[in-house]
Amino acid sequence: MADILTLRAGSVDYRVELRDGQILVDGVPVERSAQAWAVADGDTRWVFIDGEVFEFEVQRQGRRKTAAHQGSLSAPMPATVIRINVAPGDAVKKGDTLLVLEAMKMELPVRAPADGVVDSVACRTGELVQAGVTLIHLTT
């Protein structure tokens, strides 16, 4: 028997199937050589693979999750801020690395989810931040 999930990254849905000890994403087997870590908070999953962070939303049939903090970027887990690349008023493009966190001896880039302008930066380099606390607020 297979477990099937639908995960959303941005506006793209992925079908993830766990079958006989193998993971398939949209029907394609996942290579086992990559190391990955995952953190869950409700229906949100952060997956860290080779220094990149991917945020997924678990989609459940008949229920739609709304964003509670539109425009706010927060830490997925307790981490230390090691670099801030933006300041209030800076224009950013989707995918720009706004700041870099360190957790579990890994660097975790926090990227802009959309084009916008930085409203505020609520952290400083060297600060230990907690999961879910707003670090940067963007106007899109």
pLDDT digits 0-9 by tens, 76-96: 788 999 999 999 999 999 889
8 A C-beta contact, residue 8 and residue 16: no
> 42 versus 69: which is more confidently predicted?
42
pLDDT tens, residue by residue, 86-132: 999 999 998 899 999 998 888 888 888 888 999 999 999 999 998 88
End-to-end CA separation in angstroms for the chain = 43
Tens of pLDDT along 41-54? 677 777 766 556 66
Q: What is the dihedral of CA 74, 97, 119, 68, to 10 degrees?
A: -30
Contact status, residue 15 vs residue 27, Cβ threshold 8 Å: yes
- DSSP letter string over 37-51? EEEEETTEEEEEETT
How far, in Å, CA of 90 to CA of 138, rounded?
10
Q: What is the pLDDT of residue 23?
A: 72
- Cα separation, 16 vs 60, in Å, equals 13
Q: What does the chain come to in residues?
A: 140
Single-letter amino acid code for the residue at 120: S
Looking at the DSSP bridge assignments, the partners of residue 39 are 46
> Taking 70 as the threshold, does the pLDDT of residue 30 lie above it?
no
DSSP H helices, the chain, are: none
Tokens standing for residue 57: 């939303």
Pull the structure tokens for residue 112: 């802009």
